Amino acid sequence: MTRVGWRKFRGYRLILILPCRENVVVCSRMMHRLFLVFTGALLGILGISCSQHVPLPPGAPPIVALSPIEGLPMASVWNEQNKLELGVDTGAVQKVLLFSPTVEELGGELRGKDTIQSTNLPISFSLNGEHIEETPDAVMVKTAPYDGLLGWAAIRQYIWNLNLPTGKHHFFTSLPSPIKRWNKLKLIKHSDYAQVDDPNGRTVIIDTGAPYALYIARKDWERFKQDYPDAPVSVYSGYSPAAGGYYAHECIYISSYRLGNLVLRDIVACESFADKDLLNTNSEIDIMLGLEAFFRREIWLDGPNHTVYFSEPRRRQYLSTPFNLSGITFVPEPDGTPPCRAVVAQWSIAWEAGLRTGDQLVSINGRRFLDYAVLDYITLHEGAKAKIVVQRNNTLITAEWVVPRLPSPGDYHPTPEAVSPEEYERLKPIHEQLDQLNNMLSQPFESDSPQNTHE
């Protein structure tokens, strides 16, 4: 799924203008790195290509990867004499997807009237090199932290070594032989996505543009949560046309998840933001593996041979995705207009302090607008003090709390499936006999032999 995101990289802060109260919203780590902003599967679906994958000819130039990784992995491409930086996103189906501010800055033309348009800016992997895309797609956005996305149609022609424990990545045209002994996931050969060949028939996508480890389709979310009954529940938020605009959904902190021989530990699992109706697809993406799934592993994504190889977990972890410790976030209306309303996880510390989903923001630690830098502070930093004033039914409510420490992740305890009425009737006599036996055993034991007494 293609996303257009605003996020904070190290040493970089983006200002996003929104019509919310003071008309300026400072978007910091929560909207950039923690709550990555998506344009999601809607743009990917619109850009699906029906072409078959053609392996690269010998001696083809590799993609130039940019390290260290600070958020989304980046690579460089060229438009004539102009060097561009693109996010490497296996969730985007195109070869190249440029952001409209970059097209305008380079003097290119935008053709079309929809969210996805085309442009006349040819793209190469090297200076004055052969064009890999003559008329790349462009997505219409107000602003963005980089020039566009390098999508799956380009990535799959190479072998991508993504080493997140060291913060580095590279592209190759051949796979080192020892890597073939690593654990692996097979990919579906002719899919427009980096789609895992799941033996259970689920639609499983690897999406390096999504920050969290795991995204579960909405239709399966409640059942998924029941399998982790003691998992801490919180919320995450962002923006995506695939969600109809601004959104917020639940997430939980879990101790483990297994997909084939890939075992993930201590991760954040999220309810998917994507709306199937807006995507105009017949079925949802059941599971999406985001970047956090590989924070402690080195992976080799062998596009030509449709395989992802991954190492055992490494001790070092270069990147991390924080968990919302307060269980609250604020979002404007789907189109970005005020009011900004609360989304609160039930039984979270914000919920216990009296806040509820739907409360309208008045102030957050004294600021009368939605300042995400402050929201970061009161949701991510242990020991931080929060004071939020909201309006509910024409009544002002003040809530205060101290941000707690990160709780223990929830363990996997699947809920047994209920028996059918027919099965219940069949087992009913057995249960009645067991109840009678339990009643007999619960009676006081009386010995038939006389008790010895000491005189």
Q: pLDDT value at position 62?
A: 81
User: Considering 155, 185, 207, which residue would you say is the last residue of a domain?
Assistant: 155
Residues 21 and 142 in one domain: yes
Q: Are residues 247 and 220 in the same domain?
A: yes
Which position has the higher pLDDT, 63 or 372? 63
118 closest CA partner among 127, 109, 129:
109
Neighbour-count burial of 277, counting CB atoms closer than 10 A to its CB (0-12 exposed, 13-18 middle, 19+ buried): exposed
At 281, is the pLDDT very low, low, confident or very high (cuts 50, 70, 90)?
low
8 Å CB contact between 296 and 164: yes
**pLDDT higher than 70, residue 74:** yes
Q: Please say if the pLDDT value at position 368 is more than 90.
A: no
Supply the pLDDT for residue 397: 96
- Tell me the residue range of the domain where 197 lies: 172-310
When divided into structural domains, the chain yields a total of 2
If you average pLDDT over every residue of the chain, what do you get? 82
What's the token pair of residue 220? 């399966």
Residue 268 lies inside a defined structural domain of this protein: yes
Claim to verify: residue 146 and residue 18 sit in the same structural domain: yes
* pLDDT tens-digit series, residues 332-360: 876 667 889 999 999 999 999 999 999 99
Q: Do both 262 and 217 map to the same domain?
A: yes
Indicate the residue type of 90. T
180, 234 Cβ separation under 8 angstroms: no
Residue 79 to residue 124: CA distance in whole angstroms: 6
* Dihedral angle sign, alpha carbons of residues 129, 131, 132, 138: positive
- Would residue 166 count as lying in a domain? no
Same-domain pairing of 184 and 145: no
Same domain? For 25 and 120 the reply is yes
Interval 5-18 mean pLDDT = 32
Average pLDDT over residues 316-323: 74
Looking at the domain assignment, is residue 47 inside a domain?
A: yes
Same domain, 201 and 148: no
198 and 238 inside one domain: yes
User: Is 50 part of a structural domain of the chain?
Assistant: yes
For residue 127, what is the domain's CATH number?
Answer: 2.40.70
**Per-residue pLDDT band at 104 (split at 50, 70, 90):** very high
Query: Are 79 and 190 members of one domain?
Result: no
Q: Is residue 255 part of a domain?
A: yes
Tell whether the model's pLDDT for residue 316 goes beyond 50: yes
Is 23 in the same domain as 151? Answer: yes
* Average pLDDT of the segment spanning 166-177: 93
What was the pLDDT predicted at 280?
A: 55
**CB–CB of 289/260 below 8 Å?**
no
Q: Dihedral, CA atoms, 324, 327, 330, 334, nearest 10 degrees?
A: 90
Which residue among 251, 276, 310 closes a domain? 310
CB atoms near residue 403 (< 10 Å): 19
φ, ψ for residue 181 (rounded to 5)?
-90, -5
Q: Residue 141: inside a domain, yes or no?
A: yes
Domain end point (choices 129, 155, 181): 155
Query: How many Cα atoms within 13 Å fall on the side-chain side of residue 280?
Result: 8
Residue 441 domain-assigned?
A: no
129 and 177 both lie in a single domain: no
pLDDT-derived band at 242, boundaries 50, 70, 90: low
Q: Is residue 387 part of a domain?
A: no
Model confidence over 399-442: pLDDT tens digits?
Answer: 999 999 999 999 998 866 656 677 777 877 887 888 888 787 77
Same structural domain, 133 and 227: no
